[in-house]
């Protein structure tokens, strides 16, 4: 029995050594190699997206997004459509190509945000963020969100991983409060409680 435990412990140690560095939700079971991004590469992908929103440049968009880039966010669509049925139905792409992103994001003011957490697997980066805008509305709220960045390897390119698809959601209600578009009525009779 003792020899079995020794063999099992040795096998487990060998298996653990061969495993990729700790990652979240691995999409590939093989050990880390050129087909899996490293922690530094994952942080670069997150930083690239941060800069596309907080300090936009067309040069970075061309360098860090695939031509077929798509961006999905019902939070953004609900803001664009002001909560009504609009030209962009919920669940559809807010941007359906890199060119569409460049045309749309290039005309928007920069939105600075802090990266609160970054998780990654072989080809996907998950970023949790919070805005750092100084809103002047009296009821200003922090807006926090989460972004899933699906990537494609680009060996030999300026960026080793290009962002191919983005799924992003955030507290669009807080965003409307911060913009002064919606003024909450926080008196007790006006509050509505959600029921399970």
Residue 185's pLDDT band (cuts 50, 70, 90): low
110, 132 Cβ separation under 8 angstroms: no
pTM given for the model: 0.74
Q: How far apart are CA 167 and CA 72, in angstroms?
A: 5
Residue 46, φ and ψ in degrees, nearest 5: -60, -45
Domain boundaries, the chain: 32-185
Cα atoms in the 13 Å half-sphere on the side-chain side of 3:
0
pLDDT value for 102: 96
Q: What is the mean pLDDT of the chain?
A: 78
8 A C-beta contact, residue 122 and residue 28: yes
C-alpha distance from residue 169 to each of 8, 82, 103 (Å): 44, 16, 21
**To the nearest 10°, the Cα dihedral for 189, 190, 191, 196?**
90
Residue 4's pLDDT is 42
136 burial via Cβ count (<10 Å: 0-12, 13-18, 19+): exposed
pLDDT band at 7 (very low <50, low <70, confident <90, very high): very low
Q: How confident is the model at residue 10 (pLDDT cuts 50, 70, 90)?
A: very low
pLDDT at residue number 192? 55
Per-residue pLDDT of 25-70, as tens digits, reads: 444 434 445 679 999 999 999 999 999 999 999 999 999 999 999 9
Q: What is the pLDDT of residues 113-127, one digit of tens each?
A: 889 999 999 999 999
Q: What is the full DSSP assignment across 90-154?
A: TTSEEE-SHHHHHHHHTTSPP--EEEEEEEE-SSEEEEEEEE-----STT----EEEEEEEEEE-
pLDDT value for 62: 96
Domain 32-185 in CATH 3.10.450.50: yes
């Amino acid at each position: 029995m003792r020899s079995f435990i020794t063999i099992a412990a040795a096998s487990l140690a060998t298996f653990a050594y061969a495993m990729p560095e700790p990652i979240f939700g691995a999409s590939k079971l093989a050990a880390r190699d050129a087909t899996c991004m490293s922690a530094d590469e994952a942080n670069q992908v997150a930083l690239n997206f941060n800069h596309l929103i907080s300090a936009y440049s067309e040069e970075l968009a061309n360098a860090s997004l695939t031509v077929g880039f798509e961006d999905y966010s019902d939070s953004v669509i609900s803001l664009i459509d002001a909560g009504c049925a609009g030209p962009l139905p919920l669940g559809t792409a807010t941007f359906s190509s890199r060119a569409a992103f460049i045309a749309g994001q290039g005309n928007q003011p920069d939105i600075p945000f802090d990266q609160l957490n970054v998780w990654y697997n072989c080809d996907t980066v998950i970023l949790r963020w919070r805005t750092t805008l100084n809103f002047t509305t009296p009821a200003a709220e922090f807006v926090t969100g989460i972004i899933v960045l699906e990537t494609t390897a680009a060996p030999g390119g300026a960026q080793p991983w290009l962002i191919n698809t983005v799924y992003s959601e955030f507290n669009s209600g807080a965003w409307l409060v911060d913009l002064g578009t919606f003024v909450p009525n926080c008196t007790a009779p006006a509050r509505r409680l959600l029921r399970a």
